[in-house]
Amino acid sequence: MTAINRRTVLQGLAVATGTLAAPAVQAQPTPVRIGFLTVKTGPLASGGLQMEQGLLLYLKERNNRLAGRAVELITADTGGVPAQARTKTQELVERNRVHCIIGPLAAFEALAIDDYIRGVGLPTLAVAAADDMTQRNPNPWFVRATSTSSQCAHPMADYALNELRMRRMAVIADDIAYGHEMLGGFQRVFEDGGGRVVQKLWPPLAVPDYGTYISQFRSNLDGIYMGFAGSNGFRFTRQFNEYGMGGRVPLTGGMTAVDESLLQNMGNEALGIVSANWYSAELDNPINRSFVELMRRDYRVDPGFYAAATYTNGAVLEAAMRSVDGRVEDKEPFMAALRTNAVPETCRGPVRFDQYGNVVGNVYIRRVERKGPRLVNTVIKTYPDVSQFWTYDPAAYLRNPVYSRDNPASRFLER
């Protein structure tokens, strides 16, 4: 993979703009500058690198032109550290004078730059999943085309209840807000439908070994729900199998537990895991088929959560730019376009946005299956038009506090 930095993008752009026919009235002379906040060093780097791959692919397919204007991508490495995320955002705005930002990756990065974004009025196509960014603390400059942490957990619980007929489950997730919110959403729908969460385990994010947790699972479980981030789902599943639990208790997962990027290195221990996400590389629409094809050709990997996130953001950005005839400099109409456009064709299917700037789109239930030499997330059910509030009334939903370790309250825990 070539390391793209600002210099090479600028050089490439110089060539591209040099070949433009200048006198055309529609084509504006200065390129649109897109800031890209991602993580390229440190433990979160794998997601960040995939975000970059997805975005570069989108732009490359269009010769770095969106809605008739040339675009320049300026990549900034936040290292996964909130202070650095904020500094990089300031650099993108003040030094590079970007028109909009794609990213950041992590929830705490988004929270760190939240007030700055509001202050300067910077359209931000966020990837981070923090629920409250589009719920109780909505930022008018955010638009999120991926999902909240709990958005995909709600339908997963529904599926577990009604199709998998599970009634008695244990949940295990990373002890961070992402895990809390995912599990909270799952538990709420699961218990509202008559199920019982009898055990909740919260391993710290960077725990070396899951052995001690695996040995704590109660007996007679119908299933286990995993809310892991990063590569933890990978390690947990392997160890789960090593302890002889594989096949005895079905595993279900959240958005990133069996991400495509992890599947490529997993073996038979992953077969049969059911998870819910707003994307799967197996989605059968023309845009996705071509996207997956290109990712395999250029980067030799299947796209997962992160690559699809930026690829979708690219589509949302392009659609908004089209609506304003490329005039991104007029921030208000541009932001309004970002949040009100319905984009019927993206790699994840149709997307539109609710009044808080969060996506309303399909959520797919997938099962890990073997297809030839590789493991894939086969789509077995589609929940269309899923919003961040599931089937609940938004006003009532927002009156509850955000999901946390203790919310919803655990009424059925067995100890």
Examine residue 208 and tell whether it contacts other proteins (CB under 8 A): yes
Query: How is residue 199 annotated by DSSP?
Result: E
- Nearest CA to 81 out of 50, 105, 109 is that of 109
Q: Which helix (H) or strand (E) holds 251?
A: strand 251-253
x-marked contacts with other proteins along 232-261 as a string, rule CB under 8 A: --xx--xx--xxxx---------------x
C-alpha to C-alpha distance for 304 and 299, rounded to whole angstroms: 13
% helix, strand, coil for the chain, step of 5: 40, 20, 40
- Nearest CA to 384 out of 362, 403, 413, 414 is that of 362
Part of the chain binding other proteins (CB under 8 A), chosen from 19-27, 264-272, 275-283, 367-375: 264-272
Among 189, 266, 294, 307, binds other proteins (CB under 8 A): 266
Kindly tell me which of 43 and 121 has the beta carbon lying closer to other proteins.
43
Among 27, 45, 164, 380, binds other proteins (CB under 8 A): 45
C-alpha to C-alpha distance for 102 and 127, rounded to whole angstroms: 7
Asked whether the beta carbons of 67 and 88 are under 8 A apart, the reply is no
C-alpha to C-alpha distance for 195 and 115, rounded to whole angstroms: 40
Among 84, 134, 135, 275, binds other proteins (CB under 8 A): 84
Asked whether the beta carbons of 252 and 203 are under 8 A apart, the reply is no
Kindly tell me which of 76 and 321 has the beta carbon lying closer to other proteins.
76
Chain residues 179-198 in contact with other proteins, contact rule CB under 8 A: 180
For residue 114, count CB atoms less than 10 angstroms from its CB and return exposed for 0-12, middle for 13-18, buried for 19 or more: buried
Examine residue 410 and tell whether it contacts other proteins (CB under 8 A): no
Kindly tell me which of 199 and 362 has the beta carbon lying closer to other proteins.
199
x-marked contacts with other proteins along 143-182 as a string, rule CB under 8 A: --------------------------------xxx--x--
Site residues for other proteins per CB under 8 A: 3, 5-7, 40-43, 45-49, 76-77, 79, 81-84, 86-88, 90-91, 94-95, 107-108, 111-112, 114-115, 130, 175-177, 180, 201-209, 211-213, 215-216, 231, 234-235, 238-239, 242-245, 261-262, 264-267, 404-405
